[in-house]
Amino acid sequence: MAETVSVASLAGAGVVLLVSAGQTHPVNEIEAKLAAAKANDAQTNLLPDQTHSQAESARVVGVESRQVENFEVEFSSRVNRNWEPPVSFPDELASQAVLVQSSHLESMIAQETPGVSNAVLLRGVGLLAIATAAAGVGVVLAAVLRKKISVPLKQLQQTTHRFLEGDRTIRADAFGDDEVGQLANTFNQLVEQVTASEVAMTQQIRRQTQELEQAQFFIEQARFFSTIAASETRTLQNLETLFQTAVQGARQILKADRVVIYRFSPNWSGYISAEAVDSKYPRAGGGRIEDACIGQELIEAYRKGRIVATNNVDEAGFHPDHLRLMEQLKVKANLVTPVLRDGELYGLLVAHHCAAPHVWQQPEVDFLQQLALQLGLAVDRVIFLMQKDGAILRNQQLSEITGAIANADSIGEIYQCAIAGVREALKTDRALVYLFNENWQGTVVAETVGAGFPEALGANIADPCFA
């Protein structure tokens, strides 16, 4: 026979209740006994809280009339099949009859529900606390991750952007040995490699550019010297044209602001015979230039081939008069090479930079020196040709004079043929024949004179210098 248990215990454990016939008893007495059993169960506290949360509705089966002959209880617990009921119905209830209506039993069971709700509430509060703690941990983790990952990544992104904009000094901050730190170190290594490659490429481009510029410079020189060599240089007029061509070409090749040819006079004063100058600067030509710095010592040095390259005239320590001349012409840097004719100083070939000081390079010095040499050779050639042509002309004139004299019929005609030929050959304004008497005084017996000059024919001249 199954053991008997209290209704409260059965309701809390969620069991199936079977009631057999027995003695009758008033319902209110049964309820009182059930309440006592419930209190007893609460004191013993043998059932866990989760057992009450699993209570199910009890079902009353086989109620016959208002009499109950016996209780036989068979139950099955969902929590623990070996659970022993803490309380049994008293023996006096076994012979009493009770009529338990289903609705009344359900209302009794419903009274147990507040305990279940409290357990659920406690569980919910616990879960809420756990969720809140988890959320807090999540916030902390997010802050940590932001500090460890997001902020460094953003800084690395900004660093990369600045590098792409051209800042080659920027470097990423390495915050540690984690992935972000390793990424920053890798970025810095790449920056170093890129920067080194750019520097090497820039240097290579600069070298190639310089080589190209030098090659272009030499090509321009070759063409220019070819032009100079092919120029017609037979007369003084040809020579002046050559000088002008030379200064214009030299200014273009040297990228100078002014190039001039300074010619010396027999007394070593000088003048500008050819000039090419930028329109922004004053012309040096148009008059004689007296330079106190060009003394006999310096002239002798130039005759021996001296070349003067001045990168900055303000720092060269020039004589005040010469420095004043440089300021007048706005000269900041100059290069001076001598032009020699037959080993003698003919003039100076000078290049000026007026915008700013200039460091003269050796190819520039070599070019101007070579040009001065070419000009000196051109002067030698012209003078030689002029002398040759003059000699030929004089020989021809002498031959003509000789022939005229041979055909003359009188002494006077002979005189006249002679002085006419001499005046034409020598390009003079007057030619005459002066005859001495026994006292070494003389008379002009033949004369040819240019228009506008007085005649001296027939004049007796007593010149003590002849005595």
DSSP code per residue over 383-417: HHHHHHHHHHHHHHHHHHHHHHHHT-SSHHHHHHH
For CA atoms 351, 357, 362, 364, the dihedral sign is negative
Contacts of 412 (CB under 8 A, 6+ apart): 445, 446
Q: Are 74 and 68 in contact (CB under 8 A)?
A: no
Q: Are 15 and 58 in contact (CB under 8 A)?
A: yes
**pLDDT given for residue 1 in this prediction:** 42
SS3 label, residue 433: strand
**pLDDT given for residue 75 in this prediction:** 38
Distance CA 281, CA 329 (A): 7
Contacts of 462 (CB under 8 A, 6+ apart): 441
Instruction: To the nearest 10°, report the CA torsion of 368, 373, 374, 375.
Output: 90
**pLDDT given for residue 189 in this prediction:** 83
Q: Are 40 and 86 in contact (CB under 8 A)?
A: yes
Show the tokens assigned to 28.
């209110």
DSSP codes of every residue in 304-344 = TT--EEES-GGGTT--HHHHHHHHHTT-SEEEEEEEEETTE
Of 432, 442, 446, 444, residue with least CA distance to 467: 442
Distance CA 269, CA 288 (A): 8
Distance CA 28, CA 31 (A): 5
Q: Are 454 and 437 in contact (CB under 8 A)?
A: no
Of 418, 426, 373, residue with least CA distance to 400: 418
Taking phi over 0 as left and psi of -120 to 50 as alpha, with beta for the rest, 171 belongs to: beta
Identify the structural domains of the chain with CATH numbers, from first to last.
7-111 (no CATH), 117-230 (no CATH), 234-383 (3.30.450.40), 408-466 (3.30.450.40)
For CA atoms 44, 49, 50, 52, the dihedral sign is positive
Structure letter (DSSP) for residue 147: I
CA–chain centroid gap for 144, Å, is 39
Chain position carrying tokens 């240097």: 203
Q: Which residues pair with 340 in a beta bridge?
A: 345
**Could you state, in chain order, the average pLDDT of each consecutive group of 10 residues for the chain (467 residues)?**
41 39 47 60 47 41 41 41 46 43 47 58 78 76 64 77 81 73 80 86 89 87 90 88 95 95 87 93 77 77 93 90 89 96 93 96 95 94 88 86 87 90 88 87 90 88 69
Residue 161: exposed, middle, or buried by beta-carbon count in 10 A (0-12, 13-18, 19+)? exposed
Taking phi over 0 as left and psi of -120 to 50 as alpha, with beta for the rest, 179 belongs to: alpha
Of 270, 347, 340, 264, residue with least CA distance to 305: 340
Phi, psi of 442 (to 5 degrees): -140, 170
Q: Give the N- to C-terminal CA distance of the chain in Å, as an integer.
A: 194
Taking phi over 0 as left and psi of -120 to 50 as alpha, with beta for the rest, 308 belongs to: beta
**Mutual angle of helices 236-254 and 362-406, in 10-degree steps:** 170
**pLDDT given for residue 64 in this prediction:** 40
**pLDDT given for residue 32 in this prediction:** 63
Chain position carrying tokens 């000059």: 453
**pLDDT given for residue 45 in this prediction:** 47
